[in-house]
Structure 1
Amino acid sequence: MNKNILIVDDDKEIVDAIEFYLNPEGFNTFKAYDGLEAIEALIENKIDLIIMDVMMPNMDGLKTTLKIRENNNIPIILLSAKNQDMDKILGLNMGADDYVTKPFNPLELIARVKSQLRRFINLNTMKNNNTIIDSITILTSGGLCLNKDSKQVTLDGEEVKITPIEFKILELLLSNKGIVFSSKDIYEKVWEEIAYNCEKTVAVHIRRIREKIEINSKDPKYLKVVWGIGYKIENINY
């Protein structure tokens, strides 16, 4: 089945250029030229992934990402001419799954689109497909529960809204409670790419997870930092 990609940028030439590279790969493309149009397109169409510029009129890419994340977890790849770490971190903090700086290599962008779609599809494989992937489908630590079938995370019975990347990180750590994973380990297992300068990217996602599952993110109960080594989920039994 062809996937629907929404391209959002106020520069129509860039939108057309991205469409030019996506269409031969079998993707259906939709266009929007600011954040408000993007949200409208998302409401009116089944969109599988969004490629969106940061700097746009009416509603920029960061605010649009934040608005979309209120009730939608589809992959979002942000585009920006800025190449500073803080800009990338801000985008990831708003809920983006990936970040590509302009000018970008079209082949790299296509590869990232395919990678994000593959990850999202794997997370949302129907639970009744009659394929047993793992005998353990529910992972827990104390009041934290991750259901691999329904793709839900709950904390003390209350559902936690979580992005596909955050789900994969939690699944990795909950599947290996008490084991410390470095940023490099997490990046290569979750993003399925060779890790290069990945520490800040992983740290941003870890912080977002902690803000969602911890009562006090500065004194976490579940997701611990082992300074100088990496991260782990505590094995809490009760």
Structure 2
Amino acid sequence: MANPPHILVVEDDRETRTLIAKYLRTNSCNVTVAADGREMDKALADNRIDLMILDVMLPGEDGLSLCRRVRADSQVPIIMLTARGEDVDRILGLEMGADDYLPKPFNPRELLARINAVLRRQASAMNASATPDATALAFLGWQMDFRLRELRNPEGARIAMTSAEFDLLRAFVERPGRVLSRDSLLDLTQGRNAGSFERSIDVLVSRIRRKIEADPQDAQLIKTVRSGGYMFTPDVNAIAMAQPT
């Protein structure tokens, strides 16, 4: 990013909060801290936040609930901090719309690496949106505009998607009729350095199905291939999108 990223750290433990803030500041980040949901809301209202670090275990409204609430009207990247390394914590965070997770205890250097990875993906997405010759693809009346990073349903309504959801759906739409393993989908969307696990793909697929499938429990557009991965089944066509005015 051209300017130092502004990171919001939502963590109720004073020692952990101070440690994270100090380390990020020494690595050229602007940092705002919050101890609970009330302070988080104020920080988001008063500042332009580039990324949020959100602890799961918070007093009052917990981190998962806060993540879901923030994601309802904001696409700010969120990295969840989980007290345990169990898959259930990671999966719940991803289902609420988090972009990444990190189990405690963690090395501050790894947290910084994950922050940089998420911000790089976001910057890459923004650059792609600004490319004048970016393409758009359509399937069954749905339209994906890569320039604007928008998905519209057959009625023309814009469907809200997180960056991770859009990137994964794009990987499918650009490769219709091909069986894509979870490993290959991770490589295509996040890269091996992101430290993600294969189940995160399953969570994202489930979220996308809820947005594009007539019956998410009987998916016809993104089919599960036993012992293989997933396959996007509709025919896909390139289309011309109107230039923004």
Per the TM superposition, whether the score is higher than 0.5 is yes
Counterpart position of 1:152: 150
Q: Which stretch shows the higher mean deviation, 141-150 or 117-126?
A: 117-126
Tell me if structure 2 keeps the 8 A contact 1:5–1:47.
Answer: yes
Counterpart position of 1:229: 228
The count of residues paired between Structure 1 and Structure 2 equals: 234
Matched, 1:38 2:40: yes
**Residue identity (%):** 36
Counterpart position of 1:17: 19
Distance in 2 of aligned mates of 1:232 and 1:167: 16
Counterpart position of 1:92: 94
Q: How big is the shift at 1:126?
A: 7.1
Distance in 2 of aligned mates of 1:56 and 1:127: 36
Q: Which stretch shows the higher mean deviation, 213-222 or 69-78?
A: 213-222
Tell me if structure 2 keeps the 8 A contact 1:39–1:64.
Answer: no
Q: How big is the shift at 1:136?
A: 5.2
CA deviation profile, 1:169-213 (whole Å, cap 9, x unmatched): 111111111112110011122111258782211111111111111
Tell me if structure 1 keeps the 8 A contact 2:176–2:236.
Answer: no
TM-score under structure 1 length normalisation: 0.92
Tell me if structure 1 keeps the 8 A contact 2:81–2:104.
Answer: yes
Matched, 1:101 2:129: no
Tell me if structure 2 keeps the 8 A contact 1:183–1:198.
Answer: no
Q: How big is the shift at 1:235?
A: 2.7
Distance in 2 of aligned mates of 1:29 and 1:50: 10
Distance in 1 of aligned mates of 2:195 and 2:7: 27
Tell me if structure 2 keeps the 8 A contact 1:77–1:98.
Answer: yes
Residue ranges of structure 2 left out of the alignment (5+ in a row):
238-245
Alignment of 1:90-169 (within 5 A): 90-125=92-127, 127-128=129-130, 131=131, 135=133, 137-156=135-154, 157-169=156-168
TM-score under structure 2 length normalisation: 0.90
Tell me if structure 2 keeps the 8 A contact 1:73–1:163.
Answer: yes
Distance in 2 of aligned mates of 1:75 and 1:46: 12
Tell me if structure 1 keeps the 8 A contact 2:186–2:196.
Answer: no
Distance in 1 of aligned mates of 2:164 and 2:181: 16
Distance in 1 of aligned mates of 2:142 and 2:123: 24
CA deviation profile, 1:57-99 (whole Å, cap 9, x unmatched): 1211100000001111111000011221111111111111111
Counterpart of 1:155, as a letter, is N
CA deviation profile, 1:26-53 (whole Å, cap 9, x unmatched): 1100111012221221121100100010
Tell me if structure 2 keeps the 8 A contact 1:152–1:160.
Answer: yes
Distance in 2 of aligned mates of 1:236 and 1:177: 7
Indicate the RMSD between aligned Cα atoms, in angstroms.
1.8
Tell me if structure 2 keeps the 8 A contact 1:75–1:97.
Answer: yes
Distance in 2 of aligned mates of 1:106 and 1:189: 26
Tell me if structure 1 keeps the 8 A contact 2:64–2:93.
Answer: yes
Tell me if structure 2 keeps the 8 A contact 1:184–1:195.
Answer: no
Distance in 1 of aligned mates of 2:149 and 2:176: 19
Q: Which runs of 4+ in 1 moved over 4 A?
A: 194-197
Tell me if structure 2 keeps the 8 A contact 1:154–1:160.
Answer: yes
Tell me if structure 1 keeps the 8 A contact 2:137–2:236.
Answer: no
Counterpart of 2:37, as a letter, is G
Counterpart of 1:137, as a letter, is T
Alignment of 1:42-61 (within 5 A): 42-61=44-63
Counterpart of 1:36, as a letter, is R
